Amino acid sequence: MSTETKEKALMGGEFLIRDVRAKDVFIPEEWNEEQVMMKQTCLDFVNQEIVPLLERIEKQEEGLMPSLLEKAGELGMLGISIPEELGGMGMDFKTSMLCTEALGEAHSFSVAYGAHTGIGTLPILYYGNEEQKAKYIPKLASGEWKACYCLTEPSSGSDANSGKTKATLSEDGKHYIINGQKMWITNAGFADVFTVFAKIDDDENLSAFILTKEMEGITLNAEEKKMGIKGSSTRQVFFNNVKVPVENLLYERGKGFKIAVNILNIGRIKLAGGVMGGSKGVITYAVTYANEREQFGRPISKYGAIRNKLAQMAIKTYVVESATYRATQNIEDEINHLVEGGMDKGAATLKGIASYAPECAMLKVFGSEVLDYVADEAVQIYGGMGYSAETRVEMSYRDSRINRIFEGTNEINRMLTVDMLLKKAMKGELDLMGPAMKVANELMGIPDFSAPSDNEFERMREVIGRFKKAVLMVAGAAAQKLAMSLAKEQEVLMNIADMAIQLYAAESVVLRVEKLAEMKGLDAIKVELEIMRSFMFEASETINKSGREALMSFGEGDELRMMMLGMKRFTKMEPFNIKESRRVVAQAIIDANKYCF
Amino acid sequence: MKILVCISKAPDTTSKIAFKDNNTAFDENGVQFIVNPYDEWYALVRAIELKEAQGGSVTTITVGGADNDPIIRKALAIGADDAIRVDMEATDAFQVASEIAAKAKEGGFDLVLCGKETINNNGAVVGGMLAELLDAPYIPLATKLDVSGTTAEITRDIAGGEEVLTAQLPVVISAAKGMAEQRIPNMRGIMAARSKALNVAAPAGTEASTEVKSYSLPPAKGDCTYIDAENPAELIKKLHEEAKVI
C-alpha cells in the first residue's frame, strides 16, 4: 500500500473533531491471504475441537479445558502476537484481533483463551524484565503453562485500586509475603501462573507480582456457579502468607494500577473482536434455523417480522466490525510509528493502544451490547426452542451477558469514554472546546439550505459532520454548565458516551462502504449500501434521543430550546424506505444461509 | 521417498451453485473455494505423515490459474514442501491428468496420491488416467496406506468387506475417507508457507477431449404434504387427483 498519500491518522478521540478519508481506513475486505488462513485455522479449531465438546466443557470436565488450551497452543494460537524469539508467531496486533474474532464463537473456551492470552500473558510480556519474559512467556505461548490475572476483590471491582491484598517485604529482604483474597478469577482452577495485584506495605497504589501455583499458601475456593460461560473456571483465590521472591515483582513498585489499566485497554478492544465473532456465529445459526423452521407452510425466514430481526442483527454486527477494525488499524499504525521512532515493540504496543483508550472503551460497550441484542433476538427467532437448554442459542444468550460486565462494566466504560476525552481536551491533546464553541455559535446562525450533493457518500459525510456537531454541542454545553460537577452527573455522561459511540460507529460504516464502493463499484455492494443507510438512521435516532435527554437534564429556558432545535437539525435524515432496506440485508443472509459479510 | 499429491480447488460445501455462459460453466462469483477435501484430508495428510515417519518430500500439483494459489498455499501450510501449478484452465479430466503426468515424469516420484474425486464434478477419473499415462499401477478408493521400502500396502473398502493389496512403487493411489484425519494448519505452518516454493509451470498443451454441453441444477424441491397415517384414503385421492400418478 502506498503511504505517501495517506493522511496522518486520527489520534484517539479525534474522530469528534476531524474527518477522515475512506481510503485511509482499514476495512475487513483487505485482510491478506495469510491472515485469512490464520483466521480459518481458529475457526476450524472451534468447529472441530470445541463445538463437539460443548456439553462436556459446560460441565467443566476435569482437565478438559486445559487440554484444549494445550491443543490451541500446539496450533500456535496462544502466541499470535508474541515475538518469535519468545516462542510466538510475531504477528501484528491486527492479526491477533482477527484470531480473537474467530475464537469469539467458542463460548466458554473463548473466555479461557482470552484470559490466558490477554490478561494472563500480556502483563508479563509487556512489563516483565528479560528474565521474567524468558522464564514464563515461551511456556505460556505453547500452552504448557496456563495463566490467570488476579485483580478483582470482594470489595474492589470497578474501583480496582482500592484492593486490600497486601504484600510485605520479609525481614531478609528476599521475599514479599502476600496476604489477601481475589475473586472472579478466570482460569484459576487450572492456572500455573498468577499475576496478582497487591499493595506493598502502606502504598497508595497497587503493585503486581508473578506467582506460581506451587507456592505455598495459595488456595482456591470451589468453582463459582454462573449464569453463563459455565465451562470456564472462575474461582476465588486466597493468599495466605505466600512467600514470593522479590524478583517476581512485575515492573515497578506502585505501578500495578498502570499495568492493570493498560492491560484492560487491550482487553477491551480484544473483547470487541471476540463479541463480533460471537455475533457472526449467532446470526449464522439463527438464519439457518429460520430457513429450516416452517410455520404456516413456509420457512419462518420468509416472514417480515423475522427478516427484520435478521437484518438488524446483521447490520449492527457489520457496524461493530467496521468500527473495531478501523480502530485496530489506527492502533497498529501508531504502534509502528512508535517502533520506527525507536521504541521497544512491547512499550509501543501499550502506548499505541493507550492512545486510543476512548475508542477501546467505546468498542467494548458497543460490541458487547450488540452481541447481547443479537443473542436475544436469536432466541426469539428460535421461539420455544430458543428457551430449551438443548440449543446452542440458549448457551449464547447466557454466555453473552458477562461481556457487559467484565473488562470494566459498560457503565464504567461509558464514563471512562467521556472522562478520557475531556482529559485529552484539558491536556491540550484534543481541541474539543474550539469546535464546540463554533457549534454553539452556529446555533444562532442561519441554517445551511444548500442543495444536497448527488453523491450519496458526500451526503452521508455531511450527516456525519452534523452528528459530530450534535456531540460537541452537548458535550461542550455539559462541560460548561456542569463544570466540575459533570463527573457526578453520571446520567449525562452516559448520554454523551452513547452519542459518541453511535457517531464513531456510523462514521466507520460510512467509511467502510465508501471504500468498498471504490474497490468494487456500486453495483457489487448493493447490500452494504442498505446496511449503511439503515444504520445511519438508527444512529441519528440514538444520537437525537441521547442528546435531548442530556440537554433536558441540565439545560434551561431559551438556551435549552435553541439547543433542542439544534439537535433536531443536526440529526435530521432524509426519509427512505427502511423496511425495504432491511429486507435487502435479510435476503442476503437468508440466501447465504449464514452471516455473509 | 518422493510423494506427489494432486490438489484441486472445490467450492465450499455451503456455496450456492449457479451456472453462467448459457449453463456451460460454473459461476464462481461469490463462491468460497477450499482444497478438495479428499485431496486435503486424506491424500495430503497421509503423504505428510509418511514423510514425517520415513523422510522424503511432499510436492503438490495443481492444474489451473493463479486463483488456485490460496488453496495451494494452504496445502503448503499444512506441511507440503513445495508445489507445482501448471498454468492452464483445464476443461476436462484428460487434460488435467495429461498435464500432471508430464510433470510427474519429470519429477520422478515414487508415490502419486490424489483424492478419490473432487466434490464439485465427482469425476473420479484423473487418478486412473494418470496411472495409465505413467504406466504405473492404479489403486483407487484406498482407506489405508503404508509404505515399506519400495512396497506399498493398501487397504480398500469393497462391498461387504476390505481388500488388502500390495504394489511396487511407483504407484498411483486415490484416497478415500479413513486414510488420514484432517489436519488444521498451524500458525507456524501458515507462516512457513510464505517461503516455500510455488512453482508455476508452463502447460504441455494437452487438448481437451470432451466438451461440456450444459449443466443444470436438480429440480427444485416441491412442497411436502403430510398425510395422517390413519387416513390412507386421502393419500390415494391426492395421488390420483393431484399428482395424477395412479
The verdict on A221 touching B (C-beta cutoff 8 Å) is no
Interface test with A, best of B184, B198, B221, B226 (most A CBs within 10 A): B184
Give the pLDDT score at B242.
84
Residue B44 in any domain: the answer is yes
To the nearest whole Å, the CA of B171 is away from the closest chain A CA by 32
Q: What is the DSSP letter of A86?
A: G
CATH number at residue B26: 3.40.50.620
Q: How many domains does chain A have?
A: 2
Cis peptide before A245 (omega within 30 of 0): no
Identify any residues that bridge with A218 across adjacent strands, giving them in sequence order. Answer: A239
- Within 8 A by CB and 6+ apart from A447, the residues are A569
Residue-number span of the structural domain to which B66 is assigned: 2-215
How sure is the predictor about A75, in pLDDT bands with cuts at 50, 70 and 90?
A: very high
Residue A9, pLDDT > 80, answer no
Among A379, A412, A445, which residue terminates a domain?
A412
The answer, for B222 touching chain A at a CB cutoff of 8 Å, is no
Mean of the pLDDT values across residues A202-208?
94
Domain around A408:
3-19+277-412
Query: Does residue B126 belong to any structural domain of this protein?
Result: yes
Residue of chain A nearest B77, judged by CA positions: A37
For residue B15, give the chain A residue with the closest CA: A592
CB pairs under 8 A between A and B: 48
- Give me the residue from A74, A591, A593 closest to B186, CB to CB: A74
Is A44 in CB contact (< 8 Å) with chain B?
yes
Q: Answer yes or no: do A301 and A372 share one domain.
A: yes
Whole-angstrom distance, CA of residue A124 vs CA of residue A196: 11
For residue A447, the model assigns a pLDDT of 75
For A81, nearest residue in chain B (alpha carbons): B187
Q: Could you tell me how far CA A321 lies from the centroid of its own chain?
A: 10
CA separation for the pair A213, A233 (Å, rounded): 15
Question: Is B186 near chain A, with CB under 8 Å?
Answer: yes
| Mean of per-residue pLDDT scores for chain A | 94
Query: Which tens digits make up the pLDDT trace of A347-384?
Result: 899 899 999 999 999 999 999 999 999 999 999 999 99
Residue B191: its chain A contacts at CB < 8 A? 34, 89, 91
CATH at A169 = 2.40.110.10
* A315, A504 contact by CB (below 8 A): no
**Residue B203, pLDDT score:** 95
Separation in Å, CA of B186 to nearest CA in chain A: 4
Q: Is residue B225 part of a domain?
A: no
Average pLDDT over residues A284-312: 96
Q: Is the pLDDT of residue A300 over 80?
A: yes
In a domain, B233, yes or no: no
Domain-ending residue, one of A386, A412, A438: A412
Give domain status of residue A338, yes or no.
yes
pLDDT of residue A3: 44
pLDDT (average), residues A315-322: 98
The interface predicted TM-score of the complex, written ipTM, equals 0.88
Residue A230 and residue A308 in one domain:
no
Is the domain of A289 the same as that of A208?
A: no
Contact: A594, B14; criterion CB under 8 Å: yes
Residue B227 lies in a domain: no
pLDDT attached to residue A271: 96
The domain boundary, picked from A369, A393, A412, lies at A412
Among A229, A39, A67, A64, CA closest to A143: A67
A153, A321, A377, A407: the active-site residue: A407
Residue B189 to chain A, least CA–CA distance (Å): 9
10-residue mean pLDDT profile of chain B (246 residues): values are 96 87 88 94 97 97 96 97 96 94 94 93 91 96 96 94 95 96 95 95 92 88 78 89 85
CA distance B62 to chain A (A): 18
pLDDT of the residue at B228: 84
In a domain, B234, yes or no: no
Identify whether B118 is part of a domain: yes
In B58-87, the residues whose Cβ lies within 8 Å of chain A are: 69-70, 73-74, 77
Render pLDDT for A29-38 as a digit per residue (tens, 0 to 9).
999 999 999 9
Hey, what's the cell of A232? 470456564
Domains in chain B, number = 1
Q: Does any domain span residue A234?
A: yes
Does B228 reach chain A within 8 Å, measured CB to CB? no
Same domain, A287 and A396: yes
| A554 domain-assigned | no
Burial class (CB in 10 A: 0-12, 13-18, 19+), A342: exposed
Evaluate if residue A448 carries a pLDDT over 80. no
In-domain check, residue A13 = yes
Cβ <8 Å between B190 and A34:
yes
Domain assignment of residue B221, yes or no: no
Q: Tell me, yes or no, whether A358 and A288 share the same domain.
A: yes
* CATH number, residue A357: 1.20.140.10
User: Is A462 tagged catalytic?
Assistant: no
| Nearest-neighbour CA in chain A from B79: distance (Å) | 13
Same domain, A203 and A329: no
A304 plus A340 within the same structural domain: yes
Q: Using a pLDDT cut of 70, give the percent of chain A over it.
A: 99
Which residue has cell 447490500?
A527
- Is A185 inside a domain boundary? yes
Q: Given this model, what pLDDT does residue A4 score?
A: 47
Question: Residue A150: how many CA atoms within 13 Å on its side-chain side?
Answer: 36
Do the Cβ atoms of A594 and B188 come within 8 Å?
no
Position A1 scores a pLDDT of 42
For residue A2, pLDDT over 70 is answered with no
Q: Tell if the CB–CB gap between A76 and B188 is shorter than 8 Å.
A: yes
Tell me the three-class secondary structure of A502-554, residue by residue: HHHHHHHHHHHHHHHHHHHCHHHHHHHHHHHHHHHHHHHHHHHHHHHHHHHHH
Preferred mutation among B190, B223, B224 to probe A, highest tally of A CBs within 10 A? B190
A297, A389: one domain: yes
Asked if residue A246 and residue A203 are part of one domain, the reply reads: yes
Does residue A232 share a domain with residue A356? no
State whether residue B224 sits within 8 Å of chain A by CB: no
A252 and A282 housed in the same domain? no
- Identify the pLDDT of residue B219: 84
pLDDT at residue A5 greater than cutoff 60 = no
Task: List CB contacts (< 8 A) between A91 and chain B.
Answer: 187, 191
A380 and A313 in a common domain: yes
- Average pLDDT of span A515-544: 97
Q: What percent of chain B has pLDDT over 90?
A: 73
